[in-house]
Every structure is written in C-alpha cells, then in structure tokens.
C-alpha cells in the first residue's frame, strides 16, 4: 500500500509530466536536458503551502513579498535560450523561491544566485539545502551589480525587468556567453525578453518575445 506521502508524490509527478507535455513540448521546448529537469524538479516544493494546488499550472504563482515564481514555460524557455551545459557557471539575478535556481543547478556546474529580499532568500536557501543542492551559492544584494568575484559567467539569467542592461552584467559575461533578461520597452508599458550574446568582445542583442516580470529593484 502507498502511504499518504507516496500517493501525494505520485500525484505531483503525474501533474509535472502533464505540465511538461502540455506546456513545454507543445510549445517550443526541445532541449532534452531542459525537458528532463523540468520533469524531475518538484515545483510544488517551491510554492507556499496555500498555493500548492497551482504549482503546475500554466501561469506564475505568488510566493510572498509581492513576488512570483515564474510560469513553468518561461523557466524552461529561459534555460533553453541560455544554452548552458555541465561545464557552465551561471549567474542568476532574483533567486525568489529558488525554483529556477534548482532547474539551472541540475544542468550546470555551479549556480551563483543573488536575491534582494532577505525573507525570500532565507526561505530559498533553506529549501535548496533541504532538497540537497550542493552546487548553488546564494547571496543577498543588488543583482544589477553582479557578483564580480566569480566572473566571468557562461550564462546570466535575470528574473526581474530592467530599463537597461546593467553594465556590470555585460562586463561579467564570458566571451561566447549568453544572457537572458527582461527589458522594459515602449515607454514603460511593455517588456521584452532579450537574449544577449558576447562574441569576440562584441555584444549582440535579440528580442525573443513579450513578457511580464516584476521590476528589478535598485539596491539600498
């Protein structure tokens, strides 16, 4: 007989596999590593208990402090666009609940993640430790300044929208590295997810699609 917990876990697994089929494969997520990780990471562990029934739904979910865990598709798509692998070192801006951090940590060598809200960071650190992640370093601070001690990064992923690409992040991107970041455009009413590539010291910028992220806060 299944105990209650095992039955719950089996239920979450089937919700998760349905999420991967309906929300990711049916759209444009084709990267095998991304699909495997999205099938494995227990997203329901990252949302507040009162939101657990919505963990696998096709939308962002509130995580407290006026912040949200991104929609599953957005997490998968940003990860796929970064094109990172087992040897990569990645910088994440906006740890939030730590879900995107965990997804990256399953794919890359090390994730450095910065969060500006102390309560969210403390919860995410506790959760990531409980789930056994050993290749994640986190810190409290303004992610717009990056984390120069560990630069350069093969990938940089920002989960909050900026008005311009923070110069420190461009500086800390490795040559042949990629950055995905939501940028506010059109007089403040619209955001685009942008892919930045550094190659031979040259920066190129490609607009991917319209998004809605929380704003990147300034430090202090």
Interface residues toward ligand SAH, by CB under 6 A = 63, 67-70, 93-94, 96-97, 99-100, 114-117, 120, 142-144, 159-160, 214, 216-217
Which CB, 47 or 196, lies closer to ligand SAH?
47
| Residue number, 55 or 196, with CB nearest to ligand SAH | 55
d(CA 147, CA 90): 11
> Quick one: 99 or 153, whose CB is closer to ligand SAH?
99
Question: Whole-number minimum distance, CB 26 to ligand SAH, in Å?
Answer: 21
Nearest distance in Å: CB 213, ligand SAH: 7
**Any catalytic annotation for residue 39?**
no
Catalytic pick from 14, 39, 70, 137?
Answer: 70
**Least separation in angstroms between CB 136 and ligand SAH:** 13
**Cβ-based nearer residue to ligand SAH, 120 or 181:** 120
Shortest gap between Cβ of 46 and ligand SAH (angstroms)? 7
CB atoms within 10 A of CB 215: 13
Residue numbers annotated as active site: 70
């Amino acid at each position: 007989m299944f105990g209650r917990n095992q039955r719950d876990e089996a239920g979450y697994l089937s919700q998760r596999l349905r999420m991967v089929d309906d929300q990711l494969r049916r759209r444009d997520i084709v990267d095998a590593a991304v699909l495997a990780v999205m099938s494995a990471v227990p997203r329901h562990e990252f949302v507040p208990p009162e939101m657990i029934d919505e963990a696998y739904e096709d939308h962002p979910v509130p995580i407290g402090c006026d912040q949200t865990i991104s929609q599953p598709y957005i997490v998968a798509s940003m990860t796929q666009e970064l094109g990172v692998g087992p040897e990569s070192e990645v910088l994440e801006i906006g740890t939030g609940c730590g879900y995107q951090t965990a997804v990256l940590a399953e794919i890359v060598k090390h994730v450095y993640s910065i969060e500006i809200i102390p309560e969210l960071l403390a919860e995410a650190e506790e959760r990531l430790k409980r789930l056994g992640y050993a290749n994640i370093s986190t810190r409290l601070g303004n992610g717009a300044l990056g984390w120069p001690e560990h630069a350069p990064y093969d990938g940089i992923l920002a989960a909050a929208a900026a008005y311009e690409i923070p110069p420190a992040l461009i500086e800390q991107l490795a040559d042949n590295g990629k950055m995905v970041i939501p940028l506010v455009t059109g007089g403040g009413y619209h955001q685009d997810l942008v892919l930045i590539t550094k190659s031979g010291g040259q920066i190129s910028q490609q607009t991917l699609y319209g998004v809605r992220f929380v704003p990147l806060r300034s430090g202090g």
